[in-house]
Amino acid sequence: MNKSERQKAIKELITNNDVENQEGLVSLLAQRGVNVTQATISRDIKEMQLIKEPNPEGGYHYSLPVRQQPNVRQRLANSLRNDLKEIKVSDRFVALLMIPGCGPSVSQMIQRAHFPQVFISLGDDSTVLIICNSAADAKKLVAHLQPQNH
């Protein structure tokens, strides 16, 4: 299971269960056949910006931040509007040609936005390569990523 799939599973688990700590999350993932270390879960929690909220009956549980997804997608839209030079598509591959220095941050925002079409996103200084699950998914993703002022 790759990181994106694992984080989707974490999101589902904390949405449907009162997960109080990292050990509980490791245990729930193990029940699904996903063996991960607590260190991996700790990194996922930080990257996903999970928060702890009080339980009605006492204690705390992990929760998704209320505004994480819109903020990431809005920041991504702003960056694409300002820093994107060109979008190229070939089969299930999408390449974003960026202003130098913008590739890594845009790649990370694409990963954090959890687009269902995206298998993985890789960024260097001025290019982001996005591998989608299918050619159709690549077309859908490009429709999402097209800056409104281009």
Q: What is the CATH number of domain 3-63?
A: 1.10.10.10
Q: Distance between CA 125 and CA 129 in Å, rounded?
A: 11
Q: How confident is the model over 98-112, as a mean pLDDT?
A: 91
Mean pLDDT score, 25-47: 93
Task: Give 54's pLDDT tier (boundaries 50, 70, 90).
Answer: confident
Is pLDDT larger for residue 123 or for residue 57?
123
Write down the domain spans for the chain.
3-63, 68-145
CATH architecture observed for domain 68-145: 2-Layer Sandwich (3.30)
The proportion of the chain whose per-residue pLDDT surpasses 70, expressed as a percent, equals 94
Query: What is the mean pLDDT of the segment spanning 52-73?
Result: 74
Give the phi and the psi of residue 74 in degrees, each rounded to 5: -70, -40
Q: pLDDT class for 150, splitting at 50, 70, 90?
A: very low
